Amino acid sequence: MAGDTFELWKNQCLSKCDFSKKGSVDDDICHIVSFINSHDRYFTTSSCSGRIILFDGACDCQVQKRNCSWLFVTHQKCQSEDVLTSLEKSVGDATLKFEPFVLHVQCKKLEDAQLLHTVAVNSGFRNSGITVGKKGKIIIAVRSTHCLEVPVSHRGTVLITDQYLDFLVGVSNQKMEENHKRIERFYECLKTALQPQEQNCILKEAADKKPIYRRRRRRTQDDSVTDCCQSVNDHNENSEEETVCDLLFL
């Protein structure tokens, strides 16, 4: 019965309209969302690949978000000139903000959520967490803490210099670049964690029919996920070391 309920939730969620401002999944994470939704134990409920946003609003904008207006938004790196042009349109209290990748996934069982949580944490999304609702809905939120939020105008008056705006945009772009690296690291670890599931089920059925003895400790799925993420991290570190060496010999 629980499985039927999960399937019903999944069909309802994936068939409803996207009411976000963009109205569709961000291009940089389409492959991740599609991959997760292709598995019968998971489906995505909301997502954002990460964005740099300049929004304007009244002094009580944090309390009443509906009073805020977006002056500028991008899911890629940006130029200071574009942000400055948008900032000049401010009539209230404008804030420049970087929001990293976030993904919410509903899971069939708690152990399914725990597996995704391991993948997320080992990929650099250390602020990820699992919640269980009153109706039994199990949701994992994949998220990190490398955010940025700076007020840049008050009542339409710009508070910062062009030089400081260049600095803020540079920091935001660095965070966006790191964000994209973590997304790809998450995807690589995710493939390792989820693809063997069907194979493990087949092996388990075979093992039930024909018992065998093992002398070595059986590696758990979490071990494989951790090894995968460590391998990706080692590759990134080696690439950085090679770049440094190349610069030294130039």
Picking from 114, 235, 116, the residue whose alpha carbon sits closest to that of residue 187 is: 116
In which region does residue 46 sit, left (phi positive, over 0), alpha (psi from -120 to 50) or beta (all else)? Answer: beta
- The mean predicted confidence, pLDDT, of the chain is 81
pLDDT in tens, 29-67: 999 999 999 999 999 999 999 999 999 975 444 444 556
Which of these ranges, 119-123, 128-132, 202-206, has the smallest mean pLDDT? Answer: 202-206
The total number of structural domains that make up the chain: 1
Please indicate, yes or no, if residue 126 is contained in any of the structural domains: yes
Dist. CA 170–CA 188, nearest whole Å: 28
pLDDT the model gives residue 68 = 79
Give the closest residue to 115 by CA, choosing from 39, 180, 47, 182: 39
Confirm whether 138 is domain-assigned. yes
Adjacent-strand bridge partners of 142: 103
Residues 6, 108 contacting (CB under 8 angstroms): yes
Please state, in angstroms and rounded to a whole number, the distance separating the CA atoms of residues 221 and 112: 11
C-alpha span between 118 and 138 (Å, rounded): 15
What is the pLDDT averaged over residues 160-174?
97
**Inside any domain, residue 101:** yes
Give the mean model confidence (pLDDT) for residues 182-200: 82
Q: Is residue 74 part of a domain?
A: yes
Predicted confidence band of residue 174 (pLDDT cuts 50, 70, 90): very high
- Written as one letter, the residue type at 165 is L
Residue 179 belongs to domain spanning: 5-194
- Please report the pLDDT score of residue 13 as a whole number: 87
Specify if 212 maps to a domain: no
Whether residue 228 contacts residue 187, with contact meaning beta carbons closer than 8 Å, is answered with no
Q: What are the residue ranges of helices labelled H in 16-109?
A: 30-37, 80-87
Q: Is there a contact between 217 and 223 (Cβ–Cβ < 8 Å)?
A: no
- 8 A C-beta contact, residue 57 and residue 67: yes
In a domain, 124, yes or no: yes
Average pLDDT, integer, range 143-158: 94
pLDDT-derived band of residue 74, with 50, 70 and 90 as boundaries?
Answer: very high
pLDDT at 199 over 90: no
Q: Give the CATH number of the domain where residue 169 resides.
A: 3.30.1960.10
pLDDT at 88: 93
At 234 the pLDDT is 58
Task: Give the separation between CA 172 and CA 177, rounded to whole angstroms.
Answer: 9
Q: Is 189 within a domain?
A: yes
Q: Which amino acid, residue 103?
A: L
| CA distance linking residue 155 with residue 67, whole number of Å | 14
Burial of 65 (0-12, 13-18, 19+ CB in 10 A): exposed
81 - beta bridge partners? none
Q: What is the mean pLDDT of residues 214-223?
A: 51
pTM check: above 0.85? no
pLDDT at 221 over 60: no
Q: Both tokens of residue 209?
A: 């029919």
Residue 9 has pLDDT above 60, yes or no: yes
What integer pLDDT is reported at residue 228 of this predicted model? 59
Task: Please report which confidence band the pLDDT of residue 237 belongs to, taking 50, 70 and 90 as the band edges.
Answer: low
Residue 190, in any domain of the structure: yes
**Which H helix or E strand runs over 131?**
strand 129-132
Name the phi and psi angles at 73, rounded to 5. -155, 140
